[in-house]
Structure 1
Amino acid sequence: MVGLILIVAMSAVLLLFISRFVYIAASGHVGSVNLTNKTEQKYSQNQVIKAKRGTIYDVSGNVLAEDSSVYSIYAVLDQNYNSTSGKSLHVTDKEKTARVLSKYLPLSSAQILTYLNKKNQFQIEFGSAGKNLSLATKKKIEAENLSGIQFTDTSSRLYPNGTFASHIIGLAQLETPEGKKATDTTDDAKEKLTGILGIEKYFNKSLTGTDGSEYSKRDSFGYELPNTKIVTKKPKNGSSIYLTLDSRLQAYLETLMQSVQDKYKPKKINAVLMNAKTGKIIAASQRPTFNASTKDGIGSMWRDSLVEDVYEPGSVFKVLTMSAAIDAGTYKPNEYYKSGSVEVDDRTLYDWDRSGWGWIPYSQALPRSSNVGMVKIEEQLGQKRFAKYLKKFQVGEKTGITLPGEVAGSLDLKSPVTQATTAFGQGVNVTVMQMMKYLSAVANNGEMVEPQIVDHTVSSSGKSTSYETKVAGHPIKASTAKSVRKLMEQVVYADYGTGGSYQIPGYRVAAKTGTAQVAGTNGQYLTGENNYVFSVAGMVPADDPEYICYVTVQQPTITPPSESALMSGIFNPLMKRALKYESSDTKTATNSISMPKLTDQTAKAATKTAEDKGLVVSQVGSGSKVVQQLPAADEKVIKGQRVVLLTEGAMTMPDVIGWSKNDVLKLAEITGRNFKITGTGYATSQSLLAGDVIPNSDEVTIKLKEP
């Protein structure tokens, strides 16, 4: 009887289970859980295909910032993880693996072995020691052929020039997308390269692009399930940004500025070279700065002081006061005034030489940089007209340059004293880029142009968008601008001028020097011989300027032999180099040619084709057939430019002595090998002899030096 009851009970339970399974099979649900969807999720993989962040170039197409990768290493420990052919995909020899990895990771063999001996782990990582590995280190480890050692790559940003317009180009770093948590493991929440400074930040949306995706079905070991399709949505890469910077002049400026920084140790230096007619910034930098490649120095100055820092410009601002008076017709060059000091309300204002120069004509006020002369010229102009002209120059307004964080500055004309001090550049706050804009009106015959740092952009589809010159206004007449430049020439060439150190042989220079007091935290001006912002603004050639150069040096720690020693070491050689390049570029502009396609030809035939076009050819490789070329086919090149050809066979080192930095970078790019480039200018030595095979792992050092 008991047995019968048990049989009936077991039959009932079995019937219940069968009914339940039938229901689940028919409905596809367990409670509120959809089993079909669960199965789909388990075997489906929706992998993000990352878009490539756009590259930042200089005006000639030299790379300033581009996508790169860093790598993290991990070890597979599960002994069941093998390929379909039975090859081991897990660590098989832990002692050997630990010993070999200790050569490349900052861990001892014993420490690595501790990681490898962990139980019940499918795979393990090696903490921070196994992250942020370079491509060179990854290749070295891969060459050891260690079973079970794998890598994951993480997007990174490469800045090949190091300290090079760092605050302008900016930085991009990995950040978790807004609205997502760092602990979220979904693909759309993973860290992405995000611009946090400079052009990288301002154009972050354009540079970022749109990720694609790959949908597939795979088993628990990652193998694709049979009879399934892979659905791919291609990524849309970010746009490329071409700046107006000329790498040749930018690199030279960095060298000049560092020399002044090392010699006099000022708190701050700013320097800008701009095309007077277009507003295009050709070279610009600041100190303190940082190395964008290593991040060394980033903590000392986060701001782009060219657009984010305001200061009192001092005597260079007198150019605007003089422009207003001449344009309004109130300037009386042949009348005399008593220099030295002047009373304004209850204040006594002084010339930089407090004893003055006696009675002098107003025509000498600007060349001598007389504060008293400017105060009297402003009084003759009148407050309303002075304010009108400053408004026409857009003083206290942003320039609109495509850099983040730009500030507007300030202007105070509420009292006779502030009007008077503004006339000689104290009490008014400007940025460096605002000064470049104001000066362009004088250099460009009354037409004021906006400073421009971006030349054009190119989308992933190839659409090019140019940034044309923007005219900001016409604050003065052309005749006024010419008259002001004549006075600025006297600054440089008259025996009473303050800028004799800025003469450049073969050219007439129009310039204005400046010395402005630095305001302290208590609102009072600091005292002491070095508590000033020393500056010079120059235009060359004076009769029809092509370039404007503006240099400011604040509070040198080491007293210079003269104020001009601070700025002339930057201004003069930079302007000379720019004028030299302009002459050279004008001559070679007519020699522009389209780069021929040389790949798939024999090395001999390709060399002849290139040389017949007037190009210089260097071959890398021991083979006879060209497999890669730089520059690429159809690029615009200049006769005399170097072409690097890569052939099949062993990669052999060419003789790079005399090569430019850009040529060496071509070599590094086409070979994919690890090159270390030091200095600026042209190659003077190479650590690997010409004809030797370029190693896959060891670094090749190329030293450059200015001619």
Structure 2
Amino acid sequence: MLQAQRGSIVDANGNTIATASKTYSIYAVLQPLYSGDKEKLVKDKEKTATMLAKYLPMAKDKILVYLNPTSSKTKQVEFGSAGSGLSLAIKQQISRLKLPGIHFTSESSRLYEDNVFASHIIGQTTVEGSGTSAKIVGTMGLEKYFNKLLAGKNGHTSSQVDNYGYQLSTSKAKTVPAKNGGTVYTTLNSNLQNYLESLMSKVQSEYKPTEMTATLMNAKTGAIIAASQRPTFSLQTGDGVSDMWRNALVQDAYEPGSVMKIMTLSAAINSGHYNPNEYYQSGSIKVGGTTLYDWNRNGWGTIPLSQAFTRSSNVGMVKLEQEMGGATWHHYLKKFGFGQKTGVTLPDESSGTLSFSNATTQATTAYGQGIDVTVMQMLQAMSAVANNGVMLRPRIISKTVSANGTVTKYGKQTEGRIIKTSTAKAVRKAMVKVVQSSIGTGSAYKMNGVDVGVKTGTAQIAGSNGYLTGASNYIFSVAGMVPSKNPKYLLYITLKQPQNYTKAPEEMMAEIFKPLITRALALDAASDDAANATTDSTTTKMVSVTNKSTTTAQSTLSNAGYHVATVGTGNKVVQQLPVAGQTTLNGSRVILLTNGAMTMPDVSGWSKSDVLKLAQITGKKFKLKGSGYASAQSINAGALIPDTGGTITFTAQ
């Protein structure tokens, strides 16, 4: 059999995420395999065990147990899981020892460039069969959804043979060549994805939520730029997948809570049933024999409906639902796509549930209770508000290319006009008030110089005997649109049951929200600078030096005409700005972050945009005083950058 090579999964700039590879298994020959066999056998078992113990995750004594089987007739032995799945580097190191009787077999495998990188989206594979008939099969995520395209098709050679298996001299071998797998191009931006993973890990470590998701979407195209969840797992080893095998973005259906009020307000305004100057009694309301409460059970007295969204008043939303009427509200919920799959290219998507069995349940849906949704459904529904009324289907793939060159595009797909442009603008203005107003619930998301609109959410969690109680037994969430006047980014974060409840949930999520938005805007600014160049000859595509040695990266970029600044004392580059594939100005500055202690570069002569790049890649708070180019810095070049606290100041003149 001629094995096909499995195709690759790449990011938005063509950088490899997953690719075909080989792993190796080691075995030892102890007895001749057949009469006259001249194959070398293990001679010195003590030496062999000593040397192998340096490269295998197995103690010398354990290796000796394998090399001294109980049966003297055993001809060869393998070394269990510790001797399988070896990398080429380990195989080569052992081979250089030239140990008699030590041999290898190879197996097709999958190589992932990053250990944790949108793991549940990219997915997993498994090897089915053995030997030449072994094949890699996708079992999760994109690896599963596009398995047929990625797998390709094995080939074979056939000929006529005699009774002893030898090819007849009169026959001619016929070969059907293998067809390698195609390539899947995702919409993910590696820079933002890796940054999101680091932010998620930090929040997970500090506040210990039982589950968490974060998704950044292009509000104008529906492209998912970065997305992750916790718990997550290692793409390469699978470690952690047993903690959370589901793709929470499409498989988990949950009550969204108050973020749903974005759609409630949209429906009320669009249907002509919103009177902002109408007053109502906040605190509680009775519907169908059941009393429904605001999160502040005492309420805020008699207030106008214009404050309901800002204060996140459940009672206010119920009033809007009642004025619309159940039929109108249900109509809008269906238009927004709830209760049906989005069709995103990920396996096992849930359609959620939409309960409208009585007056109480239809009222509670107005504030996100009694309705189960998925993250993708929420992103799709909210896109109508971000995209001036036209709803976009979320997409994680831009195109696929088969081995024979057939291109299938997954471009922007609209789901029709859901609300009027004027409605969308009005709702976005209301989201800005949530951040800016003294009575708003979203002050934690205020960002200096950035036009941010959000809606916060706190959803109860259903248990076996009703909703759970306790301060942390909620799904907290936030949806943001940036810039609110003309959104490019839609960011949606959910955080479930933080066990280390040391801050308000809004402040916990802001530790992801604000840095990620800041970096996205910084990358946009860098791209805009390059786009404003007057001629093609002044721009070029940034090369990838991430994961290369520091000296090689510095030499490569310097030879290409860039100014290179290095942060840290390490020997390997772990991150770069601008990122690979980004259009850059010739002679511009590239900042490299290494794996060593984080040290401050000399910023003399740096522009404000260069200082901003430094802030993004280090995650530190920097401030540039004055205008023009940097001339002084509060931390000397070469000094360690503090881990916590304080703002590093640069003076410009």
Common fold: TM-score over 0.5: yes
User: What is the match of residue 13 of structure 1?
Assistant: none
Moved more, 149-158 or 377-386: 149-158
1:234 to 163, 177, 183: 177
**For residues 574 and 529 of structure 1, do their structure 2 counterparts lie closer, same or farther at Cα, with a shift above 3 Å needed?**
same
Q: Following TM superposition, by how much is the alpha carbon of 1:128 offset from its aligned partner in structure 2, in angstroms? A: 4.6
User: What is the match of residue 330 of structure 1?
Assistant: 273
User: What is the match of residue 510 of structure 2?
Assistant: 568
Q: Following TM superposition, by how much is the alpha carbon of 1:458 offset from its aligned partner in structure 2, in angstroms? A: 1.7
1:166 to 119, 123, 134: 119
1:571 partner SS: helix
**For residues 263 and 614 of structure 1, do their structure 2 counterparts lie closer, same or farther at Cα, with a shift above 3 Å needed?**
closer
Residue identity in the other structure for 2:152: G
**For residues 265 and 685 of structure 1, do their structure 2 counterparts lie closer, same or farther at Cα, with a shift above 3 Å needed?**
closer
Separation of aligned partners in 2, 1:267 and 1:372: 30
Q: Following TM superposition, by how much is the alpha carbon of 1:383 offset from its aligned partner in structure 2, in angstroms? A: 1.2
User: What is the match of residue 593 of structure 2?
Assistant: 682
| Pairwise CA RMSD | 3.7
1:307 partner SS: coil
Q: Following TM superposition, by how much is the alpha carbon of 1:562 offset from its aligned partner in structure 2, in angstroms? A: 1.6
2:410 to 467, 471, 480: 467
Q: Following TM superposition, by how much is the alpha carbon of 1:97 offset from its aligned partner in structure 2, in angstroms? A: 5.1
User: What is the match of residue 109 of structure 2?
Assistant: 156
User: What is the match of residue 520 of structure 2?
Assistant: 578
Residue identity in the other structure for 1:439: M
Instruction: Please give the residue correspondences for 1:388-407 in structure 2 after superposition, counting only pairs within 5 Å.
Output: 388-407=331-350
User: What is the match of residue 262 of structure 1?
Assistant: 205
2:497 partner SS: strand
Identity across matched positions, percent: 48
Separation of aligned partners in 2, 1:147 and 1:219: 36
Q: Following TM superposition, by how much is the alpha carbon of 1:145 offset from its aligned partner in structure 2, in angstroms? A: 2.6
User: What is the match of residue 43 of structure 1?
Assistant: none
Separation of aligned partners in 1, 2:91 and 2:448: 54
User: What is the match of residue 68 of structure 2?
Assistant: 114
Instruction: Please give the residue correspondences for 1:626-641 in structure 2 after superposition, counting only pairs within 5 Å.
Output: none
**For residues 682 and 469 of structure 1, do their structure 2 counterparts lie closer, same or farther at Cα, with a shift above 3 Å needed?**
same
2:32 to 78, 83, 89: 78
Does the Cα contact within 8 Å between 1:266 and 1:557 map onto a contact in 2? yes
1:501 to 437, 440, 444: 444
**For residues 210 and 389 of structure 1, do their structure 2 counterparts lie closer, same or farther at Cα, with a shift above 3 Å needed?**
same
1:452 partner SS: coil
1:685 partner SS: coil
1:488 to 408, 431, 435: 431
Deviations 1:292-336 (A, max 9, x none): 122221111000011111111111101111111100111101121
User: What is the match of residue 245 of structure 2?
Assistant: 302
Q: Following TM superposition, by how much is the alpha carbon of 1:535 offset from its aligned partner in structure 2, in angstroms? A: 0.7
Residue identity in the other structure for 1:90: K
Residue identity in the other structure for 1:571: F
Q: Following TM superposition, by how much is the alpha carbon of 1:233 offset from its aligned partner in structure 2, in angstroms? A: 2.7
Instruction: Please give the residue correspondences for 1:21-420 in structure 2 after superposition, counting only pairs within 5 Å.
Output: 48-76=1-29, 77-78=31-32, 89-91=39-41, 93-95=43-45, 100-101=51-52, 103-105=54-56, 106=58, 107-108=60-61, 110-111=64-65, 113-114=67-68, 118-119=72-73, 121=75, 124-176=77-129, 187=132, 190-215=133-158, 231-420=174-363
1:398 partner SS: coil
Separation of aligned partners in 2, 1:387 and 1:495: 33
1:550 to 492, 505, 526: 492
Residue identity in the other structure for 1:78: P
Separation of aligned partners in 1, 2:347 and 2:534: 35
Q: Following TM superposition, by how much is the alpha carbon of 1:209 offset from its aligned partner in structure 2, in angstroms? A: 0.5
Q: Following TM superposition, by how much is the alpha carbon of 1:657 offset from its aligned partner in structure 2, in angstroms? A: 5.7
Separation of aligned partners in 1, 2:410 and 2:327: 36
2:347 partner SS: coil
Residue identity in the other structure for 1:488: M
Separation of aligned partners in 2, 1:593 and 1:151: 55
Does the Cα contact within 8 Å between 1:682 and 1:706 map onto a contact in 2? no
TM-score of the two chains, using structure 2 as the length reference: 0.80
Does the Cα contact within 8 Å between 2:66 and 2:78 map onto a contact in 1? no
Q: Following TM superposition, by how much is the alpha carbon of 1:402 offset from its aligned partner in structure 2, in angstroms? A: 0.5
Deviations 1:508-554 (A, max 9, x none): 111101111111023x1111111111111010111110000011111
Q: How many residues align?
A: 573
Q: Following TM superposition, by how much is the alpha carbon of 1:134 offset from its aligned partner in structure 2, in angstroms? A: 2.3
2:522 partner SS: helix
Residue identity in the other structure for 1:273: L
**For residues 133 and 443 of structure 1, do their structure 2 counterparts lie closer, same or farther at Cα, with a shift above 3 Å needed?**
same
Does the Cα contact within 8 Å between 1:499 and 1:512 map onto a contact in 2? yes
Q: Following TM superposition, by how much is the alpha carbon of 1:203 offset from its aligned partner in structure 2, in angstroms? A: 0.8
User: What is the match of residue 588 of structure 1?
Assistant: 530
Separation of aligned partners in 2, 1:256 and 1:617: 23
Separation of aligned partners in 2, 1:145 and 1:198: 41
Deviations 1:478-517 (A, max 9, x none): 1110111111111111111111111122221111011111
Gaps of 5+ in 2: 549-554, 581-590, 598-616, 621-653
2:309 partner SS: coil
Residue identity in the other structure for 2:140: L
1:545 partner SS: coil
TM-score of the two chains, using structure 1 as the length reference: 0.74
Deviations 1:632-664 (A, max 9, x none): xxxxxx99599xxxxxxxxxxxx976845479x
2:440 partner SS: coil
**For residues 427 and 228 of structure 1, do their structure 2 counterparts lie closer, same or farther at Cα, with a shift above 3 Å needed?**
same
Q: Following TM superposition, by how much is the alpha carbon of 1:246 offset from its aligned partner in structure 2, in angstroms? A: 0.6
Residue identity in the other structure for 2:87: S
**For residues 233 and 81 of structure 1, do their structure 2 counterparts lie closer, same or farther at Cα, with a shift above 3 Å needed?**
farther
Q: Following TM superposition, by how much is the alpha carbon of 1:49 offset from its aligned partner in structure 2, in angstroms? A: 1.7
Separation of aligned partners in 2, 1:91 and 1:199: 45
Separation of aligned partners in 2, 1:230 and 1:685: 57
Does the Cα contact within 8 Å between 2:574 and 2:595 map onto a contact in 1? no
1:457 partner SS: strand
Instruction: Please give the residue correspondences for 1:607-686 in structure 2 after superposition, counting only pairs within 5 Å.
Output: 659-661=573-575, 682-685=593-596
1:343 partner SS: strand
Q: Following TM superposition, by how much is the alpha carbon of 1:276 offset from its aligned partner in structure 2, in angstroms? A: 0.3
Deviations 1:380-409 (A, max 9, x none): 111111111111112111110001111011
Separation of aligned partners in 2, 1:116 and 1:611: 72
Does the Cα contact within 8 Å between 2:533 and 2:539 map onto a contact in 1? no
Does the Cα contact within 8 Å between 1:615 and 1:640 map onto a contact in 2? no
Deviations 1:129-158 (A, max 9, x none): 533222222112211234454321011112
Separation of aligned partners in 1, 2:356 and 2:82: 60
Separation of aligned partners in 2, 1:538 and 1:130: 49
1:559 partner SS: coil
